[in-house]
């Protein structure tokens, strides 16, 4: 077997992989190369696809030894795929957009899940494109937990928003309360009137024992808090370090969020030494 034969095998099979873009091309080529080296019959085609944001390859050999080797190769490249942007091939993460999963770098994630913007004329915009004007909304509906929002216009157009989008709560606060169902108006108003400061992320965003900004639960003296952390400062410090490390890019994404006021007296409790020791425990 020579390199030219392997390359011909790769080129014949790359197009058999049904993926969303070209970011995984190099991974697929390397996978096929390892298949050829492992002893896969190059006359047989290899198929694969993207599923739940991960590269899947579908092959089987009756040779048990070869089949075990192929499984190791497939598992290797499945693991690499959820760290590789499907669009550009740079470092990516498994992310959720709406109800589907995909692996993207932060820039391409922002293109797929853009930040909600509200300009001075009350235009709601995404990716610098106006979706609708707040003055044209005739009806608004909201899920029981206030985390999903549907807006309707005179043209009977339905537009959906989620708490997973930066500035969601800014939008919710900006929409006239009168266009919500009467039985929900008091609850929505109460949300913004009863927010408290979060000692972890430093935003006035705590609502019903949960921070709407960092999604951490404020300290209390009961249960696992005292058992696991001893005192309040230890708990806040660890939560703050988690936010700083932020493996999922959540803070990078939500830096655009203007839904909540910052707390003027907020304190960062961890030092650079604390962070280094904490990273050793995690990684």
State mean pLDDT over 202-206: 97
| C-alpha torsion sign, points 57, 63, 69, 71 | positive
Two structure tokens written together for 13: 């099979």
State mean pLDDT over 193-215: 95
Over residues 233-246, the pLDDT tens digits come to 999 999 999 999 98
Q: What is the CA radius of gyration of the chain?
A: 25
Which position has the token pair 């957009």? Answer: 97
Percent of the chain at pLDDT above 70? Answer: 99
State mean pLDDT over 118-122: 95
Residue 248 pLDDT exceeds 80: no
Asked whether 203 and 261 are in contact (CB, 8 A), the reply is yes
Phi, psi (rounded to 5 degrees) for 17: -100, 120
Residue 98 binned pLDDT confidence (cut-offs 50, 70, 90)? low
DSSP state of 161: E
Q: What is the 3-state secondary structure (H, E, C) of the chain?
A: CCHHHHHHHHHHHHCCEECCCCCCHHHHHHHHHHHHHHCCCCCCCCEEEEECCEEEEECCCCCHHHHHHHHHHHHHHHHHHCCECCCCCCECEEEEECCEEEEECHHHHHHHCCCCEECCCCEEEECCEEEEEHHHEEEEEECCCCCEEEEEECCCCEEEEECCCCCHHHHHHHCCHHHCCHHHHHHHHHHHHCCEECCCCCEEEECCCCECCCCCCCCCCCCHHHHHHCCHHHHHHHHHHHHHHCCCCHHHHHCCCCCCCECCCCCCCCCHHHHHHHHHHHC
Over residues 11-59, the pLDDT tens digits come to 999 999 999 999 999 999 999 999 999 999 999 999 999 999 999 999 8
Cross-strand bridge partners of residue 75: none
In this predicted structure, what is the pLDDT of residue 262?
Answer: 95
In this predicted structure, what is the pLDDT of residue 283?
Answer: 73
Q: How far apart are CA 70 and CA 78, in angstroms?
A: 12
- Mean pLDDT, the chain, rounded, equals 92
State mean pLDDT over 83-108: 89
In this predicted structure, what is the pLDDT of residue 6?
Answer: 93
User: Distance between alpha carbon 158 and the CA centroid of its chain, in Å?
Assistant: 24
State mean pLDDT over 266-282: 93
In this predicted structure, what is the pLDDT of residue 1?
Answer: 63
In this predicted structure, what is the pLDDT of residue 56?
Answer: 96
Over residues 135-177, the pLDDT tens digits come to 999 999 999 999 999 999 987 789 999 998 999 999 999 999 9
Asked whether 91 and 85 are in contact (CB, 8 A), the reply is yes
The pTM score is 0.73
């Amino acid at each position: 077997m020579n390199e030219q034969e392997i390359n011909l095998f790769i080129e014949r099979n790359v197009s058999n992989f049904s993926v969303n873009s070209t970011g995984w091309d190099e991974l697929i080529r390397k996978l096929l190369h390892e298949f050829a080296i492992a002893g896969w019959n190059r006359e047989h085609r290899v198929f694969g696809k993207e599923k739940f944001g991960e590269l899947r390859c579908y092959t089987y050999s009756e040779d048990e030894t070869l089949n075990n080797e192929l499984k190791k190769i497939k598992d290797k490249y499945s693991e690499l795929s959820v760290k590789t942007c499907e669009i550009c091939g740079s470092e990516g993460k498994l992310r959720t957009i709406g109800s589907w999963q995909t692996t993207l770098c932060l820039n391409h994630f922002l293109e797929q899940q853009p930040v909600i913007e509200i300009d001075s004329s009350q235009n709601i915009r995404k990716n610098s494109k106006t979706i609708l004007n707040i003055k044209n909304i005739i009806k608004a509906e909201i899920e029981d937990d206030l985390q999903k929002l549907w807006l309707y216009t005179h043209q009977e157009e339905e537009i959906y928003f989620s708490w997973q989008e930066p500035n969601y709560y800014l939008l919710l606060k900006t929409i006239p309360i009168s266009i919500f169902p009467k039985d929900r108006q008091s609850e929505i108003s109460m949300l913004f009137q009863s927010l408290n400061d979060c000692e972890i992320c430093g935003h006035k965003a705590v609502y019903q024992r949960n921070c709407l900004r960092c999604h951490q639960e404020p300290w209390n003296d009961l249960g696992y808090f005292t058992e696991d952390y001893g005192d309040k400062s230890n708990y806040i410090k660890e939560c703050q370090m988690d936010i700083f490390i932020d493996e999922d890019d959540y803070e990078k994404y939500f830096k655009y969020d203007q839904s909540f006021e910052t707390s003027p007296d907020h304190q960062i409790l961890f030092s650079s030494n604390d962070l280094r020791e904490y990273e050793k425990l995690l990684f």
